[in-house]
Amino acid sequence: MTARLREIPYNYTSFSDREIVIRILGAPMWDLLNELRSQRRTGRSAKMLYEVLGDIWVVSRNPYLQDDLLDVPRRRAALIAGMRERLAEIDARRQNRADKVGDLLVAAHAAVDAFASEFEEAAQLRRKALARLVRATRRDNIRFDGLARVSHVTDATDWRVEYPFVVIHPDTEAEIAAVVKACIELGLTIIPRGGGTGYTGGAIPLTRRSAVINTEKLDALSEIEHVVLPGLGKPVPTLRCGAGVVTKRAMEAAEAAGLVFACDPTSADASCIGGNVAMNAGGKKAVLWGTALDNLASWRMVTPEAQWIEVERLDHNLGKIHDLPLARFRVTRLAQDGGTRLGEPAILEIPGSRFRKPGLGKDVTDKYLGGLPGVQKEGCDGIITSARFVLHRMPPVVRTFCLEFFGQVREAVPSIVEIKRYIAAHPGAALAGLEHLDERYLRAVGYSTKARRAGRPKMVLVGDVVGDDENAVAEAASRAVRIANARHGEGFIAASAEARKAFWADRARTAAIARHTNAFKINEDVVIPLERLGDYSDGIERINIELSIKNKLSLVEALEELFKGDIAIQRGEDAVPAAEIIGDRVERALSLLTETRKRWRWLYDNLDAPYDGSRFEVQGSKFKVQDLEPRARNLEPGTRNLEPGTIFEALQDHSITVSWKRELRAPLADIFSGRPFHKVMEAIDAAHQRVLRGRVFVALHMHAGDGNVHTNIPVNSDNYEMLQEATRAVARIMRLATAL
């Protein structure tokens, strides 16, 4: 795109001018604007047009302004009159470009007309919606105000598309059907929402005419109830939860009775039960007892027709559902009153193998899930209102191991498969949790290395081994440590509850990966065969190395632009000319940047070239690839038996480093040393921080027990180029995942 990204005023969003113009005026008008840009004389007409678009845009993205303009018609009229005056002035100024500018004005007048009529339409719909919804729930549960709408425009992604028209907070489960019916009659798109912790955008409104139904008030939580489930001969401990029950509360209720609530996602402190069911959430215990679906005894939901569905699991195996040859469910449909049965219950029979993809485990792409209502549908086929979960008893003996790996990731990842297979075959032990954190997550959570080595590990595995026999559990945990030792790793075992909790503490802080982007990140859940996790990690490392070098090449361009401009120096009392003080420093700096770019560009373009630690010649410039000592790569002496075969592998294990501090900043500090150049070094550091802020990287943490890899890309939502780079990275990641 040749045009500047931001000429429209008041645009503090991630939308570029192009996207705003297309949304307001249409795609043909953007092409026309680009055509007219080269014909500008004073730019006055363009400025006035952009001011009109800016006024429309800022109001459309600010519910508080919308409320103010709705409440004060005089102010609204003045704003619209100002827009029309600007368009009239543009019309008066146009000359030989009359036809093209006239087309723009027609589109702009239509946009202003639509903007003006939107207020009256919104006011009328608010009155109509309030009159209809008060028959379903209390008046103070119906929120049109700016605070409610701003609070429900996004979820944990911070992705913002449209603000909801209304937010509804039903008091009870029984109100949901009537609320849904009212919203459907009003023509509103319904968005179910619980804790708003989702990273897939399921709770984000995509249209202005949407209603968010917040289920957080549906927080009824039963006592532990021993129920004889359909097809079973003895009572089973269960817990009935409203959709708004926070997951942690359910876990604590089970724990207080000496039981385990198996569905424990990382977001347990804030996520709600309804979302867990709709997403088929898992967690660290999924390796032992499966995801939400495996542990559901029954659940209730409201369909888009404002009818009820009750789903009961038949012949529950109290374990993983895919172990069954046939999973059976009873589906009962009820009228809006929740009591009148609509026909006979249907028996839904689904092969157990359908719930897990062979070699993969959880299949996040299968939303249909054999036609089973509610589960893994992300709220698209109805609203989960309550659910009953089967509880489990944790074996009395638990050992937690923490394994730190310091070699290549591809060498370490196979240990996941080895540990899982060994413990699965062990007669006296079981794996109750297995989680993985990569190097970037370890840095983000501030991981403290347990081994007596310098630096952080490349990868950490934390797992729980459980059983009834203390010797068997200890043996299994010790074997996991020995497996790590064979792959350049070290292991530690915790037996006490306090020590085990400390081992797991970092897992709860994974949201820190997006601390520098104010929690905004792009998330991809990737499920691949455990045997291919090493290849996936290698592929992600390749993407990260390319993105890192590309960011540093952008830094070189930014510094060149800095040095080609005016250099600010700090003069003394003597009147020495600036040119004499600067001397040849700028030329030396530019020469340094040119040579550095050659090296970095060569590495970027030759990642697959063979590496032998020799001298490379790039466009007449020779440079030595530093061959570091084994301790610099966090390997113990004597373990350096796998030398990098390619430039990529050498960058991956830090035999080669692309360092801004060593290769650019330190030489620049030598060139611009002394008091007169203090401001120059400040400008250099500021340029580095500005470019670094736009660096994209990919971080991994996985439920290593089932191969569900959380692939996260932190992004600053106000950085358009960064968003586009992240989008390209996502496309590469998906190609990598599907190839595996």
Kindly report the backbone phi and psi dihedral angles of residue 348, in degrees, each rounded to the nearest multiple of 5, phi listed first.
-105, 120
Q: Would the pLDDT of 621 be above 60?
A: no
- DSSP for 144-166, please give it: -SHHHHHHTS--TT-------SE
- Contact between 48 and 82 (Cβ < 8 Å): no
User: Which domain range does residue 567 map to?
Assistant: 532-739
- CATH number of the domain that 413 lies in? 3.30.70.2190
Q: Has residue 7 been placed in a domain? A: no
Q: Are residues 680 and 555 in the same domain?
A: yes
Q: Has residue 566 been placed in a domain? A: yes
Place of tokens 């000592």: 629
Residues in the chain: 740
Choosing from 186, 214, 242, the residue where a domain stops is 214
Distance CA 308, CA 340 (A): 10
Distance CA 725, CA 740 (A): 23
The pLDDT-based confidence of 361 (bands split at 50, 70, 90) is low
In this prediction, residues 385-403 reach a mean pLDDT of 95
Distance CA 268, CA 505 (A): 13
HSE value, Cβ hemisphere, 13 Å, CA-based, for 732:
18
Choosing from 214, 243, 266, the residue where a domain stops is 214
- Contact between 407 and 652 (Cβ < 8 Å): no
In this prediction, residues 247-276 reach a mean pLDDT of 93
Q: Would the pLDDT of 101 be above 50?
A: yes
CA angle in degrees (0–180, nearest 5) for 167-171-174: 110
Helix (H) or strand (E) holding 417: helix 414-424
Kindly report the backbone phi and psi dihedral angles of residue 285, in degrees, each rounded to the nearest multiple of 5, phi listed first.
-80, 0
Kindly report the backbone phi and psi dihedral angles of residue 522, in degrees, each rounded to the nearest multiple of 5, phi listed first.
-90, 135
What token pair was written down for 558? 């930014």
Distance CA 159, CA 14 (A): 9
In three-state secondary structure terms, 693 is helix
Q: Would the pLDDT of 396 be above 70?
A: yes
In three-state secondary structure terms, 168 is strand
Q: Has residue 547 been placed in a domain? A: yes
Q: Has residue 231 been placed in a domain? A: yes
- Alpha helices for 564-674 (secondary structure H): 578-582, 585-605, 647-652, 660, 666-671
In sequence order, what are the residues at sequence separation of 6 or more whose Cβ sits closer than 8 angstroms to the Cβ of residue 42? none
The domain tally of the chain equals 5
- CATH number of the domain that 250 lies in? 3.30.465.10
Buried b (16+ CB within 10 A) or exposed e, 162-171: bbbbbbbbbe
Distance CA 177, CA 188 (A): 15
Q: Are residues 381 and 414 in the same domain?
A: no
Place of tokens 């103010």: 68
- Contact between 473 and 399 (Cβ < 8 Å): yes
What token pair was written down for 119? 């207020």
Distance CA 605, CA 631 (A): 28
pLDDT digits (tens, 9 = 90+) for 499-551: 999 998 887 777 666 666 665 677 777 777 777 888 888 899 999 999 999 99
Distance CA 182, CA 166 (A): 12
Q: Are residues 348 and 309 in the same domain?
A: yes
- CATH number of the domain that 190 lies in? 3.30.43.10
Q: Are residues 367 and 484 in the same domain?
A: no
Going by C-alpha positions, the residue among 701, 325, 347 that lies closest to residue 506 is 701
Task: Please give the C-alpha separations between residue 13 and each of 1, 45, 159, 592, in angstroms, as whole numbers.
Answer: 18, 24, 10, 37
Q: In what order do the strands lie in the sheet with 397-405?
A: 489-494, 397-405, 459-467, 430-438, 699-703, 708-714, 521-527
615-618 and 383-390 beta bridge pairing = unpaired
pLDDT at site 642: 55
Q: Has residue 6 been placed in a domain? A: no
Q: Are residues 202 and 125 in the same domain?
A: no
In this prediction, residues 37-64 reach a mean pLDDT of 89
Q: Are residues 161 and 125 in the same domain?
A: no
Distance CA 538, CA 561 (A): 35
Q: Are residues 295 and 439 in the same domain?
A: no
pTM of the model: 0.83
Q: Are residues 41 and 114 in the same domain?
A: yes
In sequence order, what are the residues at sequence separation of 6 or more whose Cβ sits closer than 8 angstroms to the Cβ of residue 142? 129, 130, 133, 134, 166, 168
Q: Would the pLDDT of 99 be above 60?
A: yes
pLDDT digits (tens, 9 = 90+) for 400-449: 999 999 888 888 888 888 998 999 899 999 998 888 888 888 888 888 89
The DSSP code for 421 is H
pLDDT at site 517: 65
Place of tokens 């004060």: 72
Q: Has residue 245 been placed in a domain? A: yes
Q: Are residues 116 and 145 in the same domain?
A: no
- Top mean-pLDDT range of 88-92, 138-142, 515-519: 138-142
Distance CA 50, CA 48 (A): 5
- Top mean-pLDDT range of 87-101, 141-155, 190-204, 441-455: 141-155
Q: Are residues 499 and 541 in the same domain?
A: no
Q: Are residues 324 and 471 in the same domain?
A: no
Which has the minimum average pLDDT: 432-441, 523-532, 655-664, 702-711?
702-711
- Strand residue runs (E) in 166-268: 166-168, 189-193, 210-214, 225-227, 236-242
- Contact between 114 and 25 (Cβ < 8 Å): no
Distance CA 675, CA 292 (A): 64
pLDDT at site 511: 67
In this prediction, residues 66-71 reach a mean pLDDT of 96
* HEC-encoded secondary structure of 51-105: HHHHHHHHHHCCHHHHHHHHHCHHHHHHHHHHHHHHHHHHHHHCCCCHHHHHHHH
Going by C-alpha positions, the residue among 563, 564, 552, 667 that lies closest to residue 598 is 552
CA 681 from centroid of its chain's CA atoms? 36
The DSSP code for 366 is -
In three-state secondary structure terms, 694 is coil
Q: Are residues 555 and 431 in the same domain?
A: no
Q: Has residue 8 been placed in a domain? A: no
Beta bridge partners of 102: none
- Contact between 558 and 690 (Cβ < 8 Å): yes
Q: Has residue 4 been placed in a domain? A: no
* HEC-encoded secondary structure of 604-633: HHCCCCECCCCEEEECCEEEECCCCCHHHH
pLDDT at site 452: 87
Choosing from 103, 131, 159, the residue where a domain stops is 131
Distance CA 400, CA 248 (A): 21
Distance CA 552, CA 535 (A): 26
The pLDDT-based confidence of 596 (bands split at 50, 70, 90) is very high
pLDDT digits (tens, 9 = 90+) for 269-287: 999 999 999 999 888 788 8
Query: What percent of the chain has pLDDT above 70?
Result: 91
- Contact between 16 and 6 (Cβ < 8 Å): yes
The pLDDT-based confidence of 1 (bands split at 50, 70, 90) is very low
Query: What percent of the chain has pLDDT above 90?
Result: 59
The pLDDT-based confidence of 229 (bands split at 50, 70, 90) is very high
Q: How much is the mean pLDDT over the chain? A: 88
Task: Please give the C-alpha separations between residue 294 and each of 229, 278, 324, 362, 374, in angstroms, as whole numbers.
Answer: 14, 13, 11, 11, 14
